[in-house]
A and B are shown apart, each in its own frame.
Chain A
Amino acid sequence: MSSPTTPLPSAVRTPARAAGGDQHATRGPEPELITGAEAVVRTLELLGVTDVFGLPGGAILPVYDPLLEAKTLRHILVRHEQGAGHAAEGYAAASGRVGVAIATSGPGATNLVTAIADAYMDSVPLLAITGQVFSTLMGTDAFQEADIVGITMPITKHSFLVKQAADIPLAIASAFHIASTGRPGPVLVDITKDAQQETAPFVWPVKLDLPGYRPIAKVHGKQVQAAAQLLASGKRPVLYVGGGVVRARADDELLALADLTGAPVVTTLMARGAFPDSHPSNLGMPGMHGTVPAVLALQESDLLVAVGARFDDRVTGKASLFAPDAKVVHIDIDPAEIGKIRTAEVPIVGDAKEVLGDLASAFRDLGAQPAQPYAAWWERIRSLQHQYPLGYTPTSDGLLSPQHVITRIGEISGPEAVYASGVGQHQMWAAQFIRYERPGAWLNSGGAGTMGYAVPAAMGAKVSQPDRVVWAIDGDGCFQMTNQELATCVINDIPIKVAVINNSSLGMVRQWQTLFYDGRYSNTHLNTGHGSVRVPDFVKLAEAYGALGIRVEKEEDVDAAIRLALETNDRPVVIDFVVSADAMVWPMVPQGVSNSGVQYARDHAPSWDDEAPGSGVDPDFVMPAPEGGVEPVSEADAIAGAEER
């Protein structure tokens, strides 16, 4: 903190303002003279921003002074800047609005890096504002100097370095626009301390000048018709739905198209909730831990209609062997995604909402609607669903089955709740066993796989959706990376609920060690769970933060604890669900092989070299899906697909 904030003459202080709208714009021939710091706050307010997450420091200190006066902008003080970043992400992902995070220079800014990278991978509209050292000191290794624009260049959609107060409104407005339009993403605005301190006329509205930025392409009608033709003539189509449909909030259009065509739908990890799980056409999640029907439907398909999906390696398995017979219609707002991994026969650049609407009209216009659409295909899919329902084998060590805990959280809290997860086994189970009915209900770190996402993201989601129940479904490992934000939640009255799926280990890594490293558990034991020293004790930790801490060790206590959490809204709740460390995520496609080799295994893992089918029917196999009607697998089918193609 080298120099104090320039005191403002009261005459130039601005009156109270409401958010958004031009009526607050400065008009008349002489724009008001205000500091850059005030311009930051005022610009955010004029853009309609109502909540920001941040933590001050020397280089951003000027901005924190006018924040005290802000009427329509709430600043939530986090305990770690990574928490501010993920909170802004959760805020954005749950609501569709831009999330805003503020940090100081140097370490404050670098603490944001993980969240910025995360937002980049998952296309989250994030505005990151950082303080920078005085422009005169830049490049001298000044105290707390870091070239954050340079550091984040590969992980931002764009960034601005602002060295003059007069440039602040345009930079922030441009950043806001870029973050939230086209394919959303993180944008950084780095503002030197002198730019915050000096005064400049505040001119609003600003005229954006982004000649190289054309986020929305006009949808190519011919291509849409070609896609409709393919859908009409295809025998085995699949709508391969990715996170872009969630970002575009194109769920209604997707539902209409699915109903109109009768084509089966798979929703990727990022797209859970884009299409209702209760819909009979929803085959669930594809990919490494996808359902067998979803994985094999893609694999056997003759037409993939990929919407806002990017053929991630976690979905395709070995890409060269992915869906070998399928033609591809690829719909994406980002032209660079089309053809990046898989050549598309019909590329369509555009907003998912618009394209899906157009595609439905084009399909309808063809009038080519078979009475029983894709009958043989559905027969095949139904039989896969019958043979390979999603389920799990209960644990045999007397500890809770994590899948059961997560299933009950979903069933009791319902589809209107928001579920944010960490990264690991609990994430996959939360994606598999909670039934999502709407976009924005499921938040997770899909592309980056950032442990520590859950608690701050849930916090951000709760701020943007205060009337919803918000769960963080976290692992004992992930929880220890960002649980300091419980303090933020308690102090700011943000009553999230945290379910720690405590298997006393870095479970997903441990699962790989079980399967691929001969059960040699190197550095995956966390000592947080059953029979361990319990460091930390999550219940005590919750209590230390002023949250309600509950420990659940018996299955009969699961529901009551969840209900108590739902009833407790005067503070956050942390439930320590002490689960078995041996539960594994199934099905699984081992890394680097064809998806046809998806393993559907229960009670224990098959040997990966074993040609023979799996270990047979497990009479205890649990299938939580409410539809029922599906029966356990026959012995010969325990390893699906491999021989079928």
Chain B
Amino acid sequence: MSRHVLSLLVEDKPGLLTRVAGLFARRGFNIESLAVGSSEVQGLSRITVVVDVEELPLEQVTKQLNKLINVIKIVELEPEQSVLHEHVLVKVKVDTATRPQVLEIVELFRAQVVDVTPEALVIELVAGSQRTAGLLKMLEQYGIRELAQSGLLAMGRGPKSITERIPRS
């Protein structure tokens, strides 16, 4: 299996997410992560999907997704030519003894503390999957109380845009 990052430009219509997610489930493709939000064009949303499939099934996924009437464009983003980031919020147990150690890790990973109480810290990191995974691994020993992670967000590097040549209405 190999990991592929797909960027979908879709019409912002009710049920759209069900259509996309349902298609993956129905055709037996595993979604590793999924992130949805608006794009720079009004009425169009952008979905970033990470799938774990071989080359040929990937072609099937793409073709089947393309058949969804509300899907306008699909681009596979090559990791080397793209920015791939995810967003992590993690709550860690601390006491006076461990707080400095945790803060040192936060520093090391260039993360941020966004909430402080005597017993816990909420730490935020926006980074590539490797760095977020590294942070979580280091924090494990202190006791992770809560974890929330976004799906991967992705964008091609350079001046080009996914909405180029998309008719804007």
Contact with A along B135-168 (1 / 0, CB 8 A): 0000000000000000000000000000000110
Contact status B11-A212, CB under 8 Å: yes
Given contacts A159-B15, A161-B14, A336-B66, 12 further A-B contacts (CB under 8 A): A149-B15, A153-B15, A153-B22, A154-B26, A209-B169, A211-B11, A212-B10, A212-B11, A212-B70, A335-B66, A336-B63, A336-B67
Contact status A210-B69, CB under 8 Å: yes
How far, in Å, is A611 (CB) from chain B's closest CB? 37
Nearest A residue to B10, CB-CB: A212
Contact status B22-A336, CB under 8 Å: no
Contact status A212-B15, CB under 8 Å: no
Residues of B within 8 A of A158 (CB): 68-69
Assess whether A31 is interfacial by the CB under 8 Å rule.
no
Distance, CA A158 to CA B10, complexed state (A): 14
How far, in Å, is B15 (CB) from chain A's closest CB? 6
Residues of B within 8 A of A212 (CB): 10-11, 68-72
Interface hits, B1-39 → A, CB 8 Å: 10-11, 14-15, 18-19, 22, 26
Distance, CA A339 to CA B72, complexed state (A): 22
Assess whether B64 is interfacial by the CB under 8 Å rule.
yes
Contact status B71-A336, CB under 8 Å: no
Residues of A within 8 A of B10 (CB): 212
Nearest A residue to B11, CB-CB: A212
Assess whether A150 is interfacial by the CB under 8 Å rule.
yes
Contact status B15-A161, CB under 8 Å: yes
How far, in Å, is A376 (CB) from chain B's closest CB? 35
Distance, CA A178 to CA B69, complexed state (A): 9
Contact status B26-A211, CB under 8 Å: no
Of residues A209, A336, A339, which shows the largest number of chain B Cβ atoms within 10 Å of its Cβ? A336
Cβ contacts A to B, 8 pairs, < 8 Å: A158-B69, A211-B11, A211-B166, A211-B167, A211-B169, A212-B72, A336-B64, A339-B59
Distance, CA A158 to CA B26, complexed state (A): 16
Q: What is the size, in residues, of chain A's interface with B at 8 Å between Cβ atoms?
A: 19
Assess whether A645 is interfacial by the CB under 8 Å rule.
no
Which one of B18, B56, B69, B169 contacts A339 once the chains associate, using CB atoms below 8 Å?
A: B56
Compute the total of residue contacts between A and B using a CB distance below 8 Å. Answer: 44
Distance, CA A358 to CA B26, complexed state (A): 36
Contact status A340-B26, CB under 8 Å: no
Contact with B along A127-164 (1 / 0, CB 8 A): 00000000000000000000001100110011101000
Residues of A within 8 A of B22 (CB): 153-154
Contact status A213-B64, CB under 8 Å: no
Which one of B19, B56, B69 contacts A213 once the chains associate, using CB atoms below 8 Å?
A: B69
How far, in Å, is B25 (CB) from chain A's closest CB? 9
Assess whether B60 is interfacial by the CB under 8 Å rule.
yes
Contact status B166-A153, CB under 8 Å: no
How far, in Å, is A180 (CB) from chain B's closest CB? 14
Assess whether A300 is interfacial by the CB under 8 Å rule.
no
Contact status B69-A153, CB under 8 Å: no
Cβ-closest 10 pairs across A and B:
A336-B63, A212-B72, A158-B69, A213-B69, A212-B71, A336-B64, A335-B63, A154-B26, A212-B70, A212-B69
Residues of B within 8 A of A209 (CB): 169
How far, in Å, is A185 (CB) from chain B's closest CB? 10
Distance, CA A212 to CA B68, complexed state (A): 8
Residues of B within 8 A of A149 (CB): 15
Distance, CA A182 to CA B68, complexed state (A): 13
Residues of A within 8 A of B18 (CB): 150, 153
Residues of B within 8 A of A159 (CB): 15
Distance, CA A210 to CA B71, complexed state (A): 10
